[in-house]
Structure 1
Amino acid sequence: MPRPRASRLDPERRQTLLDVAAEEFAEHGFDGASFNRILERAGFSKGVAYYYFEGKDDLYAAVLALTLEALAQRFGAWQRPPDADGFWRTLRERYFALTSHIINDERSARLLRSMSQARTHPKLQEAWLRFEGPLVAWFQRVLEDGRALGAVRADVPESLLLTSLMGIGQASDGWLLEQWAQKGAPALRKGAAQVFSLFEDLLTPRPVGLAPAKRR
């Protein structure tokens, strides 16, 4: 976590540091990024930087927090729709709004590609857990509302659905961003539609005695 005194850093200088750091982390990932290079480009001495941040991992966590905050604002707060059709329409709109945001913000896309390190890197696990908690809570509320509206299956435990949803989400995020990096925006849009269909297949209620329903 940034030291409490970081809030007293001049806002313009803080933004400069975070912008430079975001570019460095987006280009090189966490391990390949140079803390010294960030400080030199941002015009910070080591003494000043360490006064406000504990090190490279702390600065990365601050950059990651801003990136995810921007995505959360784009995704929007969740409010229960009036019915099952509205549930899927709202979820689809939010998902593809997020996809469009990533396509239009290359730096965020590159940062998100490197974010998988935060899940497994010893220095970043604490930071990732701070971000993961609100994300899990958001999806849990979506599942609860979906079940209440009859839009989400109730034949398996909600905890299993949540675990499966988060697992598919983490795996597909990495896959989608690789598609974007290798083939560009059209591949990302096509892949996003395929990923959303996986979510639909996982969550849509199964009519008794019939093949799994598929929503289009």
Structure 2
Amino acid sequence: MARVSQEHLDARRRQILDGAARCFARDGFHGTSMQDVLKEVGLSAGAVYRYFSGKEDLIAAIAGEAVAGVRQAFERAAQVSPPPTPDVLIGRVVRTLFAEGVDGGRGLDRRAYAGLIVQVWSEALRSDRLAATLIEAYEGLRASWSELVRAYRERGVLAADVPDERVARTLIAAAQGFIVQMAMFGDPGPETMEDGLRGLMAMDVQKIS
């Protein structure tokens, strides 16, 4: 009997994950059944269960990929030296994230992929396993982006009266908030976030006080 190649196994697993992601993006984690997934991917139950024990296993796998994608997009943006201004930085995160998430063969547009990410964040409220994964990823992001903020400070473009970690949290929150808005209200395009941040950065705070 001929052995099945690793490439074939990987491709079949990818087929199942991409089909499940489409189902979850369309109907939600808890509105999707395994029968829905089987119909979407056009495979038998035996073929799917060879790779995943059930829906919870599929959710965990897709959530893990989404978390990794978000983290990689943030970390890649933070590795640019010298670091770009926050408007360019956040725009780069959003573009990188959605270029990888949407163009990966899942058949999702940017709004649908954003919705999938938001579902993952929501699922962490009920899943200790997923919550632990998210916390670990966030702590890594917070540390790397604190280093980025420190680089701003060393270049003399950031006042020294705000802790690096607090600025890093706020930058991360801006990108997360944009993803939530995209999922809920549609896709305005990353340039919307860039323009908004650029406008805030141009404020003359002395005239306010």
Instruction: Tell me the secondary structure at the aligned position of residue 22 of structure 2.
Output: helix
Q: What are the Cα deviations for residues 69-97 of structure 1, in whole angstroms up to 9, with x where unaligned?
A: 55566663533534x7x445752551463
Consecutive unaligned residues of structure 2, counting only runs of 5 or more, are 1-5
Task: Tell me whether 1:161 sits opposite 2:167 in the alignment.
Answer: yes
| CA RMSD in angstroms, aligned pairs only | 4.0
> Equivalent residue for 1:10?
9
Structure 1 residues 34 and 196, CA, compared in 2 at 3 Å: closer, same or farther?
farther
> Equivalent residue for 1:21?
20
Instruction: Tell me the secondary structure at the aligned position of residue 148 of structure 2.
Output: helix
For residue 155 of structure 1, report the CA deviation from its aligned partner.
0.6
Between the aligned residues of both structures, percent identity stands at 22
Consecutive unaligned residues of structure 1, counting only runs of 5 or more, are 1-6
The one-letter code of the counterpart of 1:196 is L
Task: Tell me whether 1:117 sits opposite 2:122 in the alignment.
Answer: yes
TM-score of the pair, normalised by structure 2? 0.66
Task: Tell me whether 1:97 sits opposite 2:95 in the alignment.
Answer: yes
> Equivalent residue for 1:140?
146
Structure 1 residues 192 and 168, CA, compared in 2 at 3 Å: closer, same or farther?
closer
Contact 1:143 1:162 in 2 (8 A): yes
Structure 1 residues 72 and 164, CA, compared in 2 at 3 Å: closer, same or farther?
closer
Give the distance between the partners of 1:52 and 1:97, measured in 2 at CA.
31
Structure 1 residues 211 and 153, CA, compared in 2 at 3 Å: closer, same or farther?
farther
For residue 12 of structure 1, report the CA deviation from its aligned partner.
1.8
Q: What are the Cα deviations for residues 131-168 of structure 1, in whole angstroms up to 9, with x where unaligned?
A: 43443333223222222222333212223323333444
Task: Tell me whether 1:33 sits opposite 2:32 in the alignment.
Answer: yes
Aligned residues: 193
> Equivalent residue for 1:192?
193
Contact 1:88 1:151 in 2 (8 A): no
Q: What are the Cα deviations for residues 42-70 of structure 1, in whole angstroms up to 9, with x where unaligned?
A: 32426962x64354233223223334555
Equivalent of 1:170 in 156, 176, 189: 176
> Equivalent residue for 1:3?
none
Give the distance between the partners of 1:133 and 1:46, measured in 2 at CA.
39
For residue 169 of structure 1, report the CA deviation from its aligned partner.
3.9
TM-score of the pair, normalised by structure 1? 0.65
Give the distance between the partners of 2:124 and 2:207, measured in 1 at CA.
36
Contact 1:24 1:38 in 2 (8 A): yes
Contact 1:109 1:177 in 2 (8 A): yes
Structure 1 residues 80 and 73, CA, compared in 2 at 3 Å: closer, same or farther?
closer
Structure 1 residues 23 and 100, CA, compared in 2 at 3 Å: closer, same or farther?
closer
Give the distance between the partners of 1:168 and 1:92, measured in 2 at CA.
8
> Equivalent residue for 2:3?
none
Structure 1 residues 53 and 122, CA, compared in 2 at 3 Å: closer, same or farther?
same
Structure 1 residues 159 and 18, CA, compared in 2 at 3 Å: closer, same or farther?
same
Higher relative contact order, structure no. (Cα contacts within 8 Å, ≥ 6 residues apart): 2
